[in-house]
Amino acid sequence: MDHKYINNMLSEMDKDLSSKGLTRRDAMKLAGISGASLMMGGATSASASTEEEVVTSDAKGKIVIVGGGLAGMSTAARLTLQLSDPDITVIEPEALSVSYQPGQTLVASGVWDADDIAYKRDDFLPDGVKLIEDKVIDFQPNKNEVTTAKGQVISYDYLIMATGLQLDFERIKGLEHAGRAYSSGDNTKLLNALGDSGICSLYTAEGAVKTWELMQRSIEQAKSGKKTKFVFTHPSTPIKCGGAPKKIVYLTNSRLKEAGARENAELTFYPNGGAMFGVPEYHDAILQQFIREDFKWHYRHNLIEVEPENKIAVFDAKWQEKGEWDPMMKEFEVIAKHEKVRVEYDFLHITPPQLAPREVRESDLGSAKGWVPVNKETLQHVKFENIFAIGDIAQVPMGKTGGSIRKQYKVLVDNLVAHMDGKPMTAKYAGYTVCPLITSIGTVMMAEFDWTVTPTPSFPLDPLIERWVFWLMKVYALKPMTMYGMLAGRA
């Protein structure tokens, strides 16, 4: 555990609390937190180890984990705790694979620097776990083998898929040369494709830095008196962190207000879907926030093209119209309509379409949609009993957030170990997802829900209200919980 980081984090949080006339204990009471687990930095591996008894197993087997991001490394760490003599190999080519992706919104808004989210993979490799710095390009589940880009053929008894997903910028006409990207790693090609035309995306670490640079430039334009158009998109595919496309709207709004430039800015959100959020209660709350802040929005608009030279975004707008009366069905026909809508922008934030990596989509492991099909409760592959999937790549309802992984990885490990022992798999993932929805620089609405599609708050507070105490948790507490709790297999 990085004690220096934890102490610095707590010191900064105490300064923030002091400015409000509160102590850390006051803040805990305000949030309804019993004990010192979260706001006191208790989500670190050291404290968590005193709170949880881990039952070990003597089960044997060669376990290969494809992907060394948060999902893969947390799972590897947990397995080292639950197996007495583990044989675990992680295959991951990217040196910064464990970088803190939830912090990219804060980098994109100037709250954090890029260095605040960059973490080295090797610093979080659990003791005894082998690392192969390579990329899997072929899966042969019938042979229990994978093949890497360097030609290594690696066998396994059990396989855990934690590859994450790809950002499909090349699907957008005008950005075909951007290709497909990952959140971490060298994304120079993508940045060059976006160019200096007012287009950005916080969905890569480098892109988050550029987003902040472009936001400042656009705010200065608005501050000078020029009417400035800020446009934000949400695509037609599943995405990681479904709240991020809205968070950047709120954060841009905050920075504009801070600069005294809000009256010269128009902020418009273009979601592909017909709602702000999949949970009705959160949809209603967000809608009221949008009305309060004078944002504009247009449902069922999917970004399909950009014209950087003209600063035009092109959307496929969809709607339905009533057709002729059907006397047999005794109802009116419903006619699907759509048209291209051209939108001018000065600042365009793109949430890109997202998809499973090609090598997964085209393998026997992938489904027709590309994701790895698993039992949504046990996370075991529907066809191959010795294969499990976790995180963004797993085909489960919702679940593409770090908060989801926090619930998934212990379930996966419990079930894998039980399977190795020849016992029933009793652990179940209930679909828990959390989205700390930043509504301003200083407030967060903690959206928590599961497959019941209803709010499932962890705190005895109204989950539909934006709170400063949740901002403190987002900025100060959640990163150490992730980096020194989850990645130790404990939190």
Q: What is the mean pLDDT of residues 19-32?
A: 61
Burial of residue 50 (CB within 10 Å: 0-12, 13-18, 19+) is exposed
Residue 302, CA distances (Å) to 34, 278, 491 in order: 44, 17, 37
pLDDT single digits (tens) 200-257: 999 999 999 999 999 999 999 999 999 999 999 999 999 999 999 999 999 999 999 9
Given the residues 241, 248, 343, 438, select the one marked as catalytic: 241
Q: How confident is the model at residue 36 (pLDDT cuts 50, 70, 90)?
A: very low
Cα 75 from Cα 465, distance rounded (Å): 34
Q: How confident is the model at residue 37 (pLDDT cuts 50, 70, 90)?
A: very low
Residue 276 counted as domain residue? yes
Q: What is the mean pLDDT of residues 388-402?
A: 93
Residue 459 counted as domain residue? no
Do 57 and 82 contact (CB within 8 A), yes or no? yes
For residues 343 and 386, state if they share a domain.
no
Domain end among 304, 332, 353: 353
For residues 329 and 257, state if they share a domain.
yes
Q: In which residue are the tokens 């620089």 written?
A: 441
Domain end among 319, 353, 387: 353
**Domain of residue 204, CATH code:** 3.50.50.100
Give the structural domain span for 179: 169-353
Q: What is the pLDDT of residue 35?
A: 34
For residues 159 and 54, state if they share a domain.
yes
Residue 67 counted as domain residue? yes
The whole-model pTM stands at 0.90
For residues 173 and 299, state if they share a domain.
yes
pLDDT single digits (tens) 109-160: 999 999 999 999 999 999 999 999 999 999 999 999 999 999 999 999 999 9
Residue 3 counted as domain residue? no
Residue 10 counted as domain residue? no
Given the residues 435, 437, 438, 444, select the one marked as catalytic: 435
- How many domains are contained in the chain? 2
What is the rounded average pLDDT for all residues in the chain? 91
**What length does the chain have?**
491
Collect all residues with Cβ–Cβ distance below 8 Å to 99 and sequence separation of at least 6: 117, 118, 119, 183, 184, 205
CB neighbours (10 Å) of residue 263? 11
Which conformational region is residue 453 in: left (phi greater than 0), alpha (psi within -120 to 50 degrees), or beta?
left
Residue 156 counted as domain residue? yes
For residues 243 and 124, state if they share a domain.
no
For residues 324 and 373, state if they share a domain.
no
Domain end among 338, 353, 368: 353
Residue 85 has pLDDT above 80, yes or no: yes
Cα 439 from Cα 426, distance rounded (Å): 38
For residues 323 and 386, state if they share a domain.
no
Q: What is the pLDDT of residue 40?
A: 34
Residue 111, CA distances (Å) to 244, 440, 441, 474 in order: 15, 11, 8, 12
For residues 52 and 123, state if they share a domain.
yes
Q: How confident is the model at residue 325 (pLDDT cuts 50, 70, 90)?
A: confident
**Domain of residue 403, CATH code:** 3.50.50.60
Q: What is the mean pLDDT of residues 60-84?
A: 98
Residue 375 counted as domain residue? yes
Residue 241 annotated among the catalytic residues of the structure:
yes
For residues 419 and 288, state if they share a domain.
no
For residues 275 and 420, state if they share a domain.
no
Q: What is the pLDDT of residue 405?
A: 96
Residue 143 counted as domain residue? yes
For residues 295 and 391, state if they share a domain.
no
Residue 200 annotated among the catalytic residues of the structure:
no
For residues 199 and 348, state if they share a domain.
yes
Q: What is the mean pLDDT of residues 153-179?
A: 97
Q: What is the pLDDT of residue 25?
A: 64
